[in-house]
């Protein structure tokens, strides 16, 4: 019996380890309902760059205390994750931040329905002043105040709550109609010196639709995407990553630039250098091999 256990352990040690992706460049953000603690370990081991335990919209108000307690227990043990907490205007916010403060497994919090920089900073301070706050913007007011939110002390990254935004504004899900709020978050992130923002989830189970919508996110300058299903993770990670051909171009350009003594030949060199450096850095982080 001991021999079989040892063999199993040996086989497990041969499996490739999950690549750790820093949160500032993470592509896929998997939302997991906090009412299913038995799934936390499996979802954490998925292809998601980051997992977000949801104690906000995914939890009925009557069940929030138990869901919060289950999240605290898991993060106190061996679990690590972000947590989507309730928005500042609700009676649940205070209990959320007080329960999560100082937990060893808490990577950061996603603040639901963020509409002002003060909400970000107060959350950051109540958590002890070191836990990053990802501001989830889900309303017209939040979109219009996005530059100030991005500059708030404690703001780590912006994310788009596209479903609630449509409900708030009456906007359709059409790409043209949704291009303004997405672009607004991209510009605000740049103004605030934050990493690229995270787009809202694709509800459709169709991979071609997911691929198309993820590509649109990338085209607009967003660098991550929320998702609700582990089946979506591989598509999101692929589309938001540099392609092998991009990685090859970047590596070739950087090698050529070094070989010529880093001399600037014309006005296009600096933009191309910046793009090549960015692609090469992401390719290395994501494990993308040049062709």
Complete domains list, the chain, with CATH: 17-240 (3.20.20.60), 244-286 (no CATH)
DSSP state of 145: T
Residues 6+ apart with CB under 8 A from 170: none
Within its chain, how far is the Cα of 261 from the centroid? 38
Q: What is the pLDDT of residue 144?
A: 97
Q: Which of 105, 149, 152 is nearest to 125 (CA)?
A: 152
Distance of CA 22 to the CA centre of its chain: 10
φ, ψ for residue 85, nearest 5 deg = -100, 165
Distance between CA 181 and CA 217 in Å, rounded? 12
Choose among 108, 68, 111: nearest CA to 88. Answer: 111
Among 229, 225, 146, 212, smallest CA distance to 183 is for 146
Q: Average pLDDT per run of 10 along the chain, which is 291 residues long?
A: 41 57 98 96 97 96 97 96 98 97 97 98 98 98 98 98 97 94 98 98 94 97 97 97 96 92 84 95 95 84
Q: Among candidates 60, 115, 59, 112, which has minimal Cα distance to 82? A: 112
CA 247 from chain centre, in angstroms, equals 22
Place of tokens 């199993």: 8
The pTM assigned to this predicted structure is 0.91
With beta carbons less than 8 A apart as the criterion, state whether 214 and 236 touch. yes
* The pair of three-digit structure tokens given for residue 65, joined into one six-digit string: 């205390």
């Amino acid at each position: 019996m001991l021999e079989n256990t040892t063999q199993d352990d040996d086989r497990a040690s041969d499996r490739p380890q999950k690549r750790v992706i820093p949160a500032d460049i993470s592509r896929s953000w998997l939302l997991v309902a906090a009412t299913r603690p038995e799934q936390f370990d499996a979802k954490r081991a998925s292809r998601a760059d980051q997992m977000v335990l949801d104690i906000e919209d995914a939890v009925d108000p009557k069940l929030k205390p138990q869901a919060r307690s289950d999240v605290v227990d898991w993060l106190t043990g061996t679990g690590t994750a972000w947590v989507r907490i309730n928005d500042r205007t609700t009676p649940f916010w205070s209990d959320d931040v007080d329960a999560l403060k100082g937990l060893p497994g808490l990577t950061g919090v996603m603040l639901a329905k963020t509409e002002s920089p003060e909400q970000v900073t107060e959350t950051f301070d109540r958590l002890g002043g070191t836990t990053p706050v990802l501001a989830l913007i889900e309303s017209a007011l939040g979109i219009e105040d996005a530059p100030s939110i991005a500059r708030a002390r404690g703001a780590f990254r912006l994310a788009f709550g596209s479903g609630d935004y449509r409900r708030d504004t009456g906007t359709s899900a059409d790409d043209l109609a949704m291009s303004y709020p997405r672009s607004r978050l991209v510009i605000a992130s740049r103004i605030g010196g934050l990493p690229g923002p995270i787009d809202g989830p694709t509800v459709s189970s169709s991979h071609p639709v997911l691929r198309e919508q993820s590509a649109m996110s990338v085209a607009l300058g967003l660098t991550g995407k929320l998702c609700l299903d582990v089946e979506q993770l591989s598509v999101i990670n692929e589309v938001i990553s540099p392609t092998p051909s991009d990685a090859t171009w970047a590596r070739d350009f950087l090698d050529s630039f070094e070989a010529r003594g880093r001399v600037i030949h014309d006005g296009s060199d600096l933009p191309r250098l910046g793009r090549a450096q960015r692609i090469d850095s992401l390719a290395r982080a994501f494990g993308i091999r040049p062709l």
